[in-house]
Amino acid sequence: MFEFPKDFLWGAATSSHQVEGNNINSDWWDWEQNGKVKERSGKACDHWNRFREDFSLAKSLHHNAHRFSLEWSRIEPEEGQFNEEALSHYREVIEALKLNRLEPIVTLHHFTLPLWLAKQGGWLSHKTPNLFARYVRKAVETLGEGVRYWITLNEPVAYVFKSYFMGEWPPAERSYEKTLQALGHLLKGHVLAYDAVKEVNQRLKRSPAQVGIAKHVLIFTPCSDRSWKDRISVWIRNLMFNHLFIRALIRGRIFYPGLFKIQLPKARTLDFIGMNYYTRDFVHNEGFRIPALFGDICTLKHHRQVGRRNFLSWEIYPQGLYRLIKEFSQYKLPLLVTENGVCTDHDEERFEFIESHLGELAKAIQEGAPVFGYLYWSLLDNYEWAEGFSPRFGLIEVDYETQERKIRPSAKRFAQICERGTRP
Ligand code: BGC
């Protein structure tokens, strides 16, 4: 039996576009209306209207924390015009969390942008970091009382990779230069947002809040253990995808492969690191130029034997959580598991997933890793971006026709762990 630390945060996460519904002023809504994805988000989970019910379900499951995101395109639907209705909605959201004794963990950017900003170039524009900081300042001034944890950016590296390198998400660019340009602006956006949170809280004489990012982290393994080329690609991918963004924020500057130097206004702008962990990828070297050097994913192509997969064919690899936490302990910052979850049509697999990952987490904590919470992805079934509504990640099942919620058995078993703070 392992006892998690006393004030450990237990809960689940969501993001605005994936659950709220009718998020009409965002670039993702526009993308959907233009037929770029198989399903549109539409009403999603109607969480905009049902957040109270959803939070009381989370409370009944013994969660003591909840991660959600503010939707920038609702708060600032037109450039420089802040929408009071949206702000007061989010004030109610935060109050409802507190009433249910759920610690709010607030994300400021989770993949979506206001459409007006996307039209001006989104993260490719050098103006965006300042515009982001202006929105953050407004959000923190209006909503920040009693919020102890802010996450500026969700998965910035995965986001630029999908949006500017793979061309799969808006704005569907496919360029390494643009990817690095967007990364540079996201880094700067984080630094300015970090300062904005600190400055506002100080000015309004509030207790200081902790500011971090939610970093997508993956295990990379060579397709062929015997191939030194594959091993080089694994090393470089691990650096690019898992570490460079964090190191840039710690050091205040970074060289990305291709010798693209990014200088930030200051160093040490992370109070904690959020880790979103799902799977491992097998990597095959494709050459020594960029981007071939980063390699390609070989799981399907080379029929490499892997463990069980989720509904989206991602391998379930609990040991990866332990390995990454150990690896990230090098940064000597508190760590929070901001996402970890499985999409499956077989709910018994969900609890197996949670239990096995918590086992790995417990092992890392026992060995001294500074982890202060675990947030399952996701509280509800929701809109999984380009994959639509079919992947079911929720602790709570959502019937999209009726919007009826049903607590899954796995959620009840996870609730026992949250209540006791122990893992058998
Ligand atoms: C993202 C979520 C997404 C989840 C499952 C994370 O990469 O932050 O928005 O739904 O993974 O794919």
Strand 396-399 vs strand 404-407: parallel, antiparallel, or unpaired? antiparallel
In this structure, what are the phi and psi dihedrals at residue 9, rounded to the nearest 5 degrees?
Answer: -90, 130
Q: Give one DSSP letter per residue of 303-346, joined into a string.
A: T-----B-TT--B--THHHHHHHHHHGGG-S-EEEEEE----S-
Rounded to the nearest angstrom, the distance between the alpha carbon of 280 and the centre of ligand 1 is 15
pLDDT of residue 1: 87
> In this predicted model, what pLDDT tens digit does every residue of 154-177 receive, in sequence order?
999 999 999 999 999 999 999 999
Residue with the bigger pLDDT between 291 and 356: it is 356
Distance CA(99)–CA(361), nearest Å, equals 29
CA distances from 251 to 133, 150, 264, 331 (A): 20, 21, 9, 11
Above pLDDT 70, what percent of the chain?
98
Residue range 278-289: average pLDDT? 93
For residue 100 and ligand 1, the question of a CB distance below 6 A is answered with no
Burial 60-82 (b: 16+ CB within 10 A, else e): ebbbbbbbbbbbbbbbbbeeeee
| Element containing residue 75 per DSSP (H, E) | helix 72-75
303 in helix, strand or coil?
coil
Q: Is 112 near ligand 1, meaning CB less than 6 Å away?
A: no
- Measured from the CA of 393, which atom of ligand 1 is nearest? 5
Q: What value does the mean pLDDT take over residues 275-303?
A: 86
Rg of the chain taking only CA atoms, in angstroms: 20
Q: Output 1 or 412, whichever has higher pLDDT.
A: 412
> In this model, does residue 264 exceed pLDDT 90?
yes
What is the pLDDT at residue 369? Answer: 98
Ligand 1 mean position, distance from CA 41 (Å): 15
The CA 375 to ligand 1 mean position distance, Å, reads 13
Reply yes or no on whether the pLDDT at 148 is more than 90. Answer: yes
More confident residue, 224 or 349: 349
> Quick check: 72 pLDDT over 80?
yes
pLDDT at residue 303, as a whole number = 58
When mean pLDDT is compared across 23-37, 168-182, 219-233, 288-302, the lowest value belongs to: 288-302
Q: Quick check: CB of 377 below 6 Å from ligand 1?
A: yes
Chosen CATH of 2-423 out of 3.40.50.460, 3.40.50.720, 3.90.550.10, 3.20.20.80 = 3.20.20.80
- DSSP 8-state secondary structure symbol assigned to residue 273: E
In the chain, the amino acid numbered 408 is R
Candidate of 276, 389, 398 to mutate for ligand 1, largest count of ligand atoms within 8 Å of Cβ = 276
Q: Which residues contact 318 (CB under 8 A, 6 or more apart)?
A: 353, 356, 357, 359, 360
Using DSSP, state whether 196 is helix, strand or coil: helix
Cross-strand bridge partners of residue 215:
275
Atom of ligand 1 lying closest to residue 216 CA: 7
CA distance 12 to 341: 9
- Nearest atom in ligand 1 to the alpha carbon of residue 385 is 10
Ligand 1: distance of its center to the CA of 390 in Å?
A: 14
Cβ atoms of residues 204 and 218 within 8 Å? no
**Residue 339 in contact with ligand 1 by CB distance below 6 A:** yes
* Per-residue model confidence (pLDDT) at position 259: 65
Distance of alpha carbon 380 from alpha carbon 71, whole angstroms: 18
Tell me the pLDDT tens digit for each residue of 291-334: 888 888 886 555 566 789 999 999 999 999 999 999 999 999 99
Look at the chain and count its residues.
Answer: 424
Instruction: Name the band, by pLDDT with cuts 50, 70 and 90, for residue 399.
Output: very high
pTM check: above 0.85:
yes
Phi–psi pair at 126, nearest 5 degrees? -70, -10
Tell me the per-residue pLDDT of 360-390, one tens digit each, with 9 for 90 and over.
Answer: 999 999 999 999 999 999 999 999 999 999 9
pLDDT (average), residues 236-257: 95
CA of 310 to the centre of ligand 1 (A): 14
What separation in Å is there between the alpha carbon of 311 and the centre of ligand 1? 14
Ligand 1 atom at minimum distance from 387 CA: 12
* Section 66-90 average pLDDT: 98
Ligand 1 probe mutation, 23, 67, 69, 384, most atoms within 8 A of CB: 384
pLDDT, tens digit (0-9, with 9 covering 90-100), for 45-71: 999 999 999 999 999 999 999 999 999
Name the helix (H) or strand (E) containing 418.
Answer: helix 409-420
**Alpha carbon distances (Å) from 375 to 205, 399, 420, 421:** 29, 23, 16, 13
Cα of 44 vs centre of ligand 1, distance in Å, is: 15
Q: Which residues of 263-277 are buried (b: 16+ CB within 10 A; e: fewer)?
A: ebeeeebbbbbbbbb
Listed by start position, the domains of the chain span 2-423
What is the per-residue pLDDT for 300? Answer: 58
